[in-house]
A and B are shown apart, each in its own frame.
Chain A
Amino acid sequence: MSHLILPQPDRAVIARRDSIVADLKRLVGAAAIIADEVGRRAYETDALTAYRRLPLAVVLPSTTEEVARVLSYCHQGGIKVVARGAGTSLSGGALPAEDAVVVAVSRMTRILDIDYVNRVARVEVGITNLAISEAVKSAGFFYAPDPSSQLACTLAGNIGMNSGGAHCLKYGVTTNNVLGLKMVLVDGSIVELGGAHLDAPGYDILGLMIGSEGQFGIVTEATVRILRAAEGARPMLLGFDSSEAAGQCVAAIIGSGIIPVAIEFMDRPAIRVCEAFAKAGYPDVEALLIVEVEGSEEEITSLLQRIGTLAKAFNPRELRVSQSPEQSAAIWKGRKSAFGAIGRISDYYCMDGTIPLGKLAEVLVAIARICDRHGLSVANIFHAGDGNLHPLILYDANDPQQAEKAEQAGAEVLELCVAVGGCLTGEHGVGIEKRDLMRVQFNATDLAQQMRIKTVFDPKWLLNPAKVFPLEGRQEAQQEASLAAA
């Protein structure tokens, strides 16, 4: 798996490596630079491991000012920069390049301020997603977006990809939960956006930054919303004989006016693997929903009863409410460790398209057909409330032919998602992986407008090279924008 074209590295920059490393050491101190090959190997890929490139050097800054010094230097020298958090990107968002310096914010983990009255926290973005929630847990608060990788992934990466999670049906994704940013622009200047107030003046630059995949600048600090947690939460399991019935049940729940905090879907292959791993008590059915509601004990009971009544119209095989915190934890453990559990039995390629919920049954049938045609199996796990699919295409990474087929099947699945009215990526980002598929979802005019915005922030296109935007059309956008700015 590695058919994407990565540009030829700039030999002139690589030839200057020793002097660049010496300069970087002078700017931020030798302790913040990784220059030896073994050290750099640790940064050669992210969670899309099919692609690997050894970076020119790695910088681990401790302050915004250090990031600014490094960016200013690289900008002047025409050196490319790849921003990195924990390196958990599934789309290759943090893949380095041989002629690029990696700036990893993983040492910037401080909590700067927690303000319960105004319900915000100011943090350095190298902090892990879960660590924010842990820091405010004793006061009954939490940070809402909860990607499956929340134990490891950084807020920096969440901001870069506009990450979601299982509970965003109710609480929204990263862009709905960040109020302010401090960031370093490509030329090394430092800009602050927003703050503890609910909206920023002028254009929504904050909104453009979140999900910009390291293309626009490097974020160093953020003001995030922290929310008071509900009094309690409880999941129920609903098992069905068909994906269609499960999909109809989801529509019926939402149509009735109930917004559960999460609705997760698994098909039979996914259920079996997760059950073997987590012993969550999942029934062996064609399609399983985990539906979680929140509130007081009485509210939870009443909501789960309503949902149970609605579900009966779709002949559930299984209808079981969690009876204890231990059961609830096991149910979520199974779901949240699904990727790891499946990884124990096979290599897999994780897709991330979103579809309109009404197309669910037809899309699942079509995904099965696509994978079957390529001689591959698939397990489906997804956030049903918002139609965000995660088909896991199983293959053998040691077999180049299978790897190629998996990539081909994945592309066909994403094209299908777009064809039924959905999109290429719901939460993992475009990265390197879906760069060339962007033309499936957007026409040349749409892409040109996006690339002009890229040029606003990064006129020389030095940040996170060769990603997000198809390689064609880049020069035009760059020239046009420089003319307009002149």
Chain B
Amino acid sequence: MRSDVRPVDEREFAQILTQASADATTIEIKGAGSKEGIGRPMATAMRLSTRALRGLTLYEPNEMVMAARAGTPLAQLEASLAERGQMLAFEPADLAAAVAGEADAATIGGVFATNSSGPRRIAVGAARDHLLGVRAVNGRGEIFKAGGRVMKNVTGVDLCRGLAGSWGTLAVISEVTFKVLPIPEHTETLVLLGLSDDIAVEVLTTAMATPFEVSGAAHVQSPLVARLEHPGLRGQGLSVTALRLENFVASVAARKDKLKAVLRAYGEIHDLDHDNSLALWQELRQLSPLKGSDQPLWRLSTAPSAGPKVVAAIARYTEVSAFYDWAGGLIWLEILPATDAGAADIRRVIAAHGGHATLIRAAPEVRAAVPVFQPLEAGVEAISRRLKAAFDPAGILNPGRMYADI
């Protein structure tokens, strides 16, 4: 077993990558490893960890901006924010439960490198929308920066967006600067029980089209509800459709009444108070409905109204359990084991409805055999290859993790 090399600073990363680039030594880039089981398996000559790059380098609460070295644990960073009543508004999803990783272990660099965003993404944007600046080391071993520390910045090519979600295949992110937002004073949740997927997504999209600033819109099919810890919900044996309202106390109260009036026709609406709401959305952010299973797990992204249709179409080929977030547009789908983890059927269905599918959980031999990330259209694939070469001409960084030969 190779051990992780932990460079102590950005300069050491640069030295190692300069040498590796010259020798064509392939390198796996790792933060805490909380998402290690995701992507195509790699067999690299070396493994570099960002874990020694730690610490906050800037925090200005009144300017809503923070900067941290890439290996800073997310939990530590969020604790510092909470002390000043602030948060990462995109509430990064914790994929550990889904891939049997160590919970609560992610680093902030990993969050941005994978563009990991949770339920509030639908209201405030994804991780990539909150990234203001980066420092990184490219595959040539050159240290470069992009963006900055201010909210509005269109100076030069937007490399922040380019690196977000690139899974360490373009450059090693060494430091990130990002926007933070106040933690809402109060949170409540409206819950409807026992809805079908179709009706549930109608409820979610209807709620999102109101002016009441719904900040979470999720639907969990009943078999997955059984995996929740939430005592009030898990025992019901019914699907759970949840809508989150966050703001000052008086605002939440007023909006709740108005939203209930809009949704009255869909059946009885239950209230979750502040503490119960925080507990539920924390579980959804941690993908609690997906834990403790080793069945193939897919992440599908589509237009919300297409969500139930996609799931129903896939259900014609295999047994499925679905957890919908983002008003139905993000679907975590567990299916029965199959030699290709259902890739052929799922990709055919998603192609018909628009969107894409990523295989999140499957045995390494399956992930080596089927495309884990959505195969790209030829023109986009050609650009992607040239982008890879523009950052990492020797192809040494996380080779093949997203796509073969990229």
Contacts and interface: CB of A to CB of B under 8 A. Distances in A.
B377 A192 contact: yes
A196 B162 contact: no
Contacts of A173: 152, 154
Interface in A344-383: 354-358, 383
A88 interface: no
Interface centre among B60, B210, B330, B403 (most CB of A within 10 A): B60
A414 to B, nearest CB: 10
B358 to A, nearest CB: 7
Interface stretch (B119-127, B236-244, B283-291): B119-127
Contacts of A430: 154-156
A230 to B, nearest CB: 5
Contact of A201 (B85, B304, B374): B374
Given A205-B383, A446-B145, A456-B390, A259 B181 contact: yes
Interface string B315-339: 0000000000010011000000000
B304 A117 contact: yes
A303 B251 CA distance: 10
B156 A438 contact: yes
Contacts of B154: 161-162, 173, 211, 425-430
Contacts of B125: 172, 176
A229 interface: yes
Nearest to A303: B248
Given A298-B254, A387-B152, A449 B144 contact: yes
Nearest to A446: B144
Nearest to B124: A172
A195 B142 contact: no
A422 B148 contact: yes
A204 B164 contact: yes
Interface in A195-215: 195-208, 210-212, 215
B165 interface: yes
B130 to A, nearest CB: 9
A208 B303 contact: no
Contact of B254 (A185, A199, A252, A299): A299
Contacts of A386: 150-152
Contact of A118 (B162, B184, B303): B303
Nearest to A185: B379
Interface in A88-141: 115-120, 140
A424 interface: yes
B146 interface: yes
B185 interface: yes
Contact of A438 (B128, B155, B170): B155
Given A172-B125, A210-B158, A445 B143 contact: yes
Contacts of A120: 303
B161 A208 contact: yes
A78 interface: no
A254 B303 contact: no
Nearest to A206: B161
A434 B156 CA distance: 10
Contacts of B159: 208, 449-450, 453
Nearest to A170: B124
A259 B251 CA distance: 14
B166 interface: yes
Nearest to A190: B379
B260 interface: no
A396 to B, nearest CB: 29
Contacts of A289: none
A168 B152 contact: yes
B198 to A, nearest CB: 13
Contacts of B250: 298-299, 302
B64 interface: yes
Most chain A beta-carbon contacts within 10 A, residue among B122, B184, B301: B301
A208 B158 contact: yes
A423 interface: yes
B380 A354 contact: no
Interface residues of B, number: 87
B151 A387 contact: yes
B155 A202 contact: no
B387 interface: yes
A357 B389 CA distance: 38
Contact of B209 (A119, A448, A449): A119
A457 B389 CA distance: 12
Interface in B235-281: 247-248, 250-251, 254-255, 258
Interface string B288-308: 000000000000011111100
A376 B122 CA distance: 47
A198 B330 contact: yes
Contacts of B355: 195, 197
B115 interface: yes
Contacts of B384: 202-203, 205
B208 interface: yes
A385 to B, nearest CB: 8
B383 A456 contact: yes
A212 B373 contact: no
A176 B152 contact: no
B386 interface: yes
A484 interface: yes
B1 interface: no
B7 to A, nearest CB: 18
Given A201-B358, A299-B250, A425-B154, A196 B374 contact: no
B61 interface: yes
B380 A202 contact: yes
B344 interface: no
A485 B150 contact: no
A164 B151 CA distance: 11
Given A198-B122, A230-B211, A423 B150 contact: yes
B57 interface: no
A446 B134 CA distance: 11
Contact of B393 (A207, A215, A438, A484): A484
Given A175-B161, A192-B377, A203 B166 contact: yes
A481 B151 CA distance: 31
A385 B305 CA distance: 35
A91 to B, nearest CB: 9
B205 interface: yes
Contact of B155 (A302, A357, A425): A425
A231 interface: yes
Interface in A404-455: 421-430, 434, 438, 441-442, 445-450, 452-455
Given A189-B379, A201-B301, 12 more contacts: A115-B305, A120-B303, A185-B379, A193-B380, A201-B374, A228-B211, A296-B251, A296-B255, A356-B63, A430-B155, A438-B155, A481-B386
Interface of A: 115-120, 140, 161-162, 164, 168-169, 172-173, 175-176, 185, 189-193, 195-208, 210-212, 215, 228-231, 251-252, 254-255, 257-259, 295-296, 298-299, 302-303, 354-358, 383, 385-388, 421-430, 434, 438, 441-442, 445-450, 452-457, 468, 481, 483-485
29 contacts: A195-B303, A197-B356, A199-B165, A202-B373, A203-B384, A205-B380, A207-B160, A208-B161, A208-B387, A212-B157, A254-B64, A302-B248, A355-B150, A421-B148, A422-B149, A429-B154, A430-B155, A441-B155, A441-B156, A446-B144, A446-B146, A446-B156, A447-B156, A448-B142, A449-B159, A450-B157, A453-B157, A456-B390, A468-B156
Closest 3 CB pairs of A and B: A207-B161, A257-B182, A386-B151
